[in-house]
Each structure stands twice: as C-alpha cells, then as structure tokens.
Amino acid sequence: MKRLLLVAFLMIQAGLFAQKDCEFGTSFTDSIGSYKETKQKIIYEKVFAGSSNNIFFSLVNAGGTPALNFQNIQRSKDFMKATCFDSASKVYLQLENGKILTMLISEEGNCGATVRDEKTGASVRVTSATFLFMKNSIEELKKSPVSYIRIKYASEMVDYIMKKEMISELNGETSFPQNFFIDYLKCIEE
C-alpha cells in the first residue's frame, strides 16, 4: 500500500513539474481590445568564429488572434548579409509526426535594423516579424514537437534543426525548442 501511495505521489509531482508556467512579457486590456505576449524564448543558437545568430520566439494573442513573434539577432565583426522579410515570407514547421504546417507573415516585411555595439565593435542586426497560424495548425502544434523549421525570407530559404534541449551560450538558459508550442500555446488561448 505504501508503494502504491508513493508511486501515485511521484506521478502527481512529475505531472506538476512537467507543466510550463505562463510568463508574460506584455499583457494589457484597453478600449481597443486585449493583448498578451509570452516572454521570448531562445529556440535556435549558432555561435562560430566570433559571430552569432540567435532566434527567439514568443506567442501573442491580440484581440483573440493568435500569432508568433519571430526575432533573429545576428552579431558579427565581419560583414553580415541582410536577411529580409517581404509580404511572401513564411515559416514552415515540420512536426515529428511528419506533418508540415505553414505560417504566413502578417505585415509587409522588413530588413531589420543594424546597430554597432561600441563595447565589442561588432555589428548587431535585429530582424523581427509576426506570423499568423493557419486554420487547425494550433491543434497540431499542441500534439507533436517541431523537428525542423524553414524560414522563407525575401531572397532565400533557411533551414533550422530544432534541438530537444539547448543550453544557450548567450544567457546560460536551458530551453526545449522542439516543445516550444506544446509548452506555451496554452498561454495565449482565450
């Protein structure tokens, strides 16, 4: 009997710890409507030869419309090729169950902004965009981890392999990129 109670207790504890808390970077309601956005999570990082590329995701619910905020931060002392978004840009998500989902950009696009880091002498380019979920894609994203992401920029397509677990060199934070949608979609549901 004691073993049965111990097993039940451990299962309940594991279930509680497996749930991700909803942390919001922004959340407000005004006369126009409501807006809430989860905190940004790093989902991809590449550091090589003094250059780095970091991709962050956050989820948004703007007046009942769910969306994905995408931010790419590139840092280098060398020349950096611009990665621009245009009105035809898309995000393709390949799930572990084999399904491929498409997200459409919600704006005209941009090439980001470049600033100089005076401390290190590196150039830093920040490119952001908001992508909309297609019909029924949220339900699929809740069920299966993302194994692969393809971004259609204005002039090229770039592929990113998602890791199950990643410890960021940028901030030392541990993240679980494959499970980003599974963990955080619940935070923006009405």
Q: Where are the domains of the chain?
A: 23-188
Q: Looking at the whole model, is its pTM more than 0.75? A: yes
What number of other Cβ atoms are within 10 A of residue 168's Cβ?
Answer: 15
Q: Mean per-residue pLDDT for 113-125?
A: 89
Q: Mean per-residue pLDDT for 29-57?
A: 89
- pLDDT at 45 > cutoff 70: yes
Give the residue, 42 or 109, on which the prediction is more confident.
42
pLDDT band at 20 (very low <50, low <70, confident <90, very high): low
Query: Whole-angstrom Cα distance, residue 131 to residue 91?
Result: 7
- pLDDT at 128 > cutoff 90: yes
Tell me the pLDDT tens digit for each residue of 137-174.
999 999 999 999 999 999 999 999 999 999 988 888 89
**Cβ contact 84:154 at 8 Å:** yes
- pLDDT at 88 > cutoff 90: yes
Query: Whole-angstrom Cα distance, residue 13 to residue 189?
Result: 25
Query: Whole-angstrom Cα distance, residue 75 to residue 80?
Result: 8
Query: Whole-angstrom Cα distance, residue 150 to residue 148?
Result: 7
- pLDDT at 19 > cutoff 70: no
Residue 130 phi, psi dihedral angles, 5° rounding: -115, 130
Name the least confident of 51-55, 72-76, 81-85. 81-85
**Cβ contact 107:60 at 8 Å:** no
Confidence (pLDDT) at 173: 87
Confidence (pLDDT) at 32: 77
What average pLDDT is seen over the chain? 86
- pLDDT at 136 > cutoff 70: yes
Kindly give, in sequence order, each residue whose CB lies less than 8 Å from that of residue 106, ignoring residues fewer than 6 positions away.
67, 129, 130, 131, 132
